């Protein structure tokens, strides 16, 4: 991608927002805040979000089928589950003006989560033990009426989320799948460079269930949660389940919740009459679980984890581009030709490259490369004499390399 023809404008002078992630993402032209807790993803930001969601999708495809549920649902479903008046972040939707309300007086729910819809759909599909176990998921925009939304992409009124739902004949089979999902989630966070910093954490059931659940908490100075390490049980616990004693004495860290997994037992099957026929002909309620990952929140957490005073430092797996190619000496035709050739060679080798072909000075180009957090800055100038000057954003080490040497380094 050539910078000059791309919708991208960094703005180091942009006003700071209330969180590091929103501030850096807005300065870098990744997002723009439309209102508190609501962000537009600009082209380079959408690239990062898509990479995060592709990793999530690839891992979920190994255990379930993707579908797409609507954002709207009838209120009757939420009455039936008993959650219409108990979820304190639930949004409703209705005509916005007199004209609209005169034509359609109904109101609907704008879904923060989708156990209700999912159960009513899957009960038509899974009517026998033969159809189970079954897992379906979606990656979709969701909505919560957050009173305070000051943590950038880490707490949105509108946010992207992967939610997977599983359906089982027995509690034991749900437990088996629930444990499998712990490994699936660990792989997702590993692939984004967060594996070492993300702890499986025992938690309460929240709005959902009286069972214990688990959160995946990424250690992060600016996280909204505190988690405690229980030495005896060798497990991290969140505030809901850590005893007073543990909260006083145990090792604790700030963390941000990037995923959660729940076992509901037959709660939703009971509410929505999701009954199957067992092999012996008996009828029984289905056992269900749900499994969330906040993909836009992850983008925020990644920035909180991976940045320095100059800007973002994306892990390569989610970086918008692998290489920031800075073409210098734009008044010299031979150097321009060398940079053009390097761009072509990188693209042909499958290295995603943002080619800064602008007539701006070296300082502005280097500052953009650092702010944008692209893993490799590659300079072509009069001085590089046919080679590439390659600098790692992570280590700041610089090497003068042949293009073939760099391609090898980049795994191509």
Output the smallest distance, CB 81 to a copy of itself, in A.
Answer: 13
Is 363 among the residues that bind a copy of itself (CB under 8 A)? no
Instruction: Report 141-200 residues binding a copy of itself (CB under 8 A).
Output: 141, 143, 145-147, 157-158
Strands 134-143 and 65-66: parallel
Whichever of 100 and 171 has its CB closer to a copy of itself, that residue is 100
| Rg, the chain, Cα only | 25
Contacts of 8-15 with CB under 8 Å at 24 or more apart are: 8/42, 8/43, 8/44, 8/354, 10/367, 10/368, 10/371, 10/372, 12/367, 12/371
Q: Indicate the helix (H) or strand (E) that contains 275.
A: strand 275-277
Is 210 among the residues that bind a copy of itself (CB under 8 A)? no
Output the smallest distance, CB 337 to a copy of itself, in A.
Answer: 24
Whichever of 104 and 280 has its CB closer to a copy of itself, that residue is 104
Is 97 among the residues that bind a copy of itself (CB under 8 A)? yes
Output the smallest distance, CB 295 to a copy of itself, in A.
Answer: 12
Is the CB of residue 375 less than 8 Å from the CB of residue 392? yes
Output the smallest distance, CB 130 to a copy of itself, in A.
Answer: 10
Is 92 among the residues that bind a copy of itself (CB under 8 A)? yes
Is 85 among the residues that bind a copy of itself (CB under 8 A)? yes
Q: How far apart are CA 221 and CA 223, in angstroms?
A: 6
Is 117 among the residues that bind a copy of itself (CB under 8 A)? yes
Instruction: Report 54-73 residues binding a copy of itself (CB under 8 A).
Output: 65-73
Q: How far apart are CA 220 and CA 245, in angstroms?
A: 24
Tell which one of 90, 181, 188, 319 touches a copy of itself (CB under 8 A): 90
Q: How far apart are CA 237 and CA 250, in angstroms?
A: 10
Tell which one of 2, 63, 80, 95 touches a copy of itself (CB under 8 A): 95
Output the smallest distance, CB 26 to a copy of itself, in A.
Answer: 10
Residue 189, burial from CB neighbour count under 10 angstroms (0-12, 13-18, 19+): buried
Label residues 41-76 b or e (16+ Cβ within 10 Å = b). bbebbebbbebbbebbbebbeebbeeeebebebeee
Q: Is the peptide bond before 133 cis (omega within 30 degrees of 0)?
A: yes
Q: How far apart are CA 227 and CA 247, in angstroms?
A: 9
**Which range of residues in 121-129, 222-230, 366-374, 404-412 is near a copy of itself by CB under 8 A?**
121-129
Instruction: Report 30-59 residues binding a copy of itself (CB under 8 A).
Output: 32, 34-35, 38-43, 45-46, 49
**Which range of residues in 135-143, 192-200, 223-231, 317-325 is near a copy of itself by CB under 8 A?**
135-143
Tell which one of 134, 200, 275, 401 touches a copy of itself (CB under 8 A): 134
Q: How many C-beta neighbours within 10 Å does residue 20 have?
A: 19
Residue-wise DSSP of 366-396: HHHHHHHT-SEEEEE-TTTTTSEEEEETTT-
> Any idea which residue has 């699936």 for tokens?
184
Tell which one of 54, 63, 74, 207 touches a copy of itself (CB under 8 A): 74
Whichever of 140 and 269 has its CB closer to a copy of itself, that residue is 140
Binding site for a copy of itself (CB under 8 A): 6-7, 9, 11, 32, 34-35, 38-43, 45-46, 49, 65-75, 78, 84-100, 103-104, 108-110, 117, 120-121, 124-125, 134, 136, 141, 143, 145-147, 157-158
């Amino acid at each position: 991608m050539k910078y000059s023809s791309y919708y991208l404008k960094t703005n180091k002078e942009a006003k700071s927002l209330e969180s590091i992630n929103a501030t850096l993402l807005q300065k870098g032209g990744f997002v723009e805040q439309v209102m508190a807790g609501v962000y537009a993803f600009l082209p380079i930001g959408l690239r990062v979000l898509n990479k995060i969601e592709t990793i999530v999708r690839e891992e979920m495809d190994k255990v379930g089928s993707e579908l797409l549920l609507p954002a709207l649902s009838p209120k009757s479903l939420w009455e039936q589950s008993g959650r219409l008046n108990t979820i304190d972040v639930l949004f409703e939707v209705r005509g916005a003006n007199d004209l609209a309300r005169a034509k359609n007086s109904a109101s609907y729910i704008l879904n923060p989560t989708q156990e209700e819809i999912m159960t009513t759909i899957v009960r038509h599909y899974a009517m026998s033990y033969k159809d189970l176990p079954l897992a379906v998921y979606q990656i979709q925009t969701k909505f919560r009426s957050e009173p305070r939304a000051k943590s950038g992409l880490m707490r949105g009124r509108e946010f992207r989320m992967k939610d997977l739902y599983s359906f089982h004949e027995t509690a034991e089979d749900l437990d088996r799948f629930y444990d499998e999902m712990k490994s699936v989630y660990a792989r997702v966070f590993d692939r984004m460079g967060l594996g070492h910093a993300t702890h499986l954490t025992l938690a309460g059931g929240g709005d959902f269930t009286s069972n214990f659940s688990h959160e995946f908490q990424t250690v992060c100075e600016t996280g909204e949660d505190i988690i405690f390490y229980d030495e005896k049980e060798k497990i991290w616990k969140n505030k809901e389940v850590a005893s007073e004693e543990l909260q006083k004495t145990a090792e604790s860290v700030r963390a941000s919740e990037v995923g959660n997994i729940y076992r509901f037992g037959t709660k939703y099957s009971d509410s929505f009459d999701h009954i199957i026929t067992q092999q012996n002909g008996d009828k029984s309620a289905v056992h269900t679980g749900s499994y969330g990952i906040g993909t836009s929140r992850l983008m925020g957490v990644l920035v909180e984890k991976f940045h320095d005073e100059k800007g973002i430092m994306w892990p390569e797996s989610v970086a918008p581009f692998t290489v920031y190619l800075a073409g210098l000496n734009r008044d010299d035709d031979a150097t321009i030709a060398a940079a053009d050739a390097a761009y072509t060679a990188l693209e042909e080798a499958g290295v995603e490259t943002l080619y800064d072909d602008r007539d701006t000075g070296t300082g502005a180009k280097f500052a953009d490369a650092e702010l944008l957090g692209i893993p490799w800055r590659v300079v072509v100038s009069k001085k590089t004499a046919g080679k590439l000057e390659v600098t790692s954003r992570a280590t700041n080490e610089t090497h003068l390399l042949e293009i073939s040497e760099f391609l090898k380094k980049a795994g191509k």
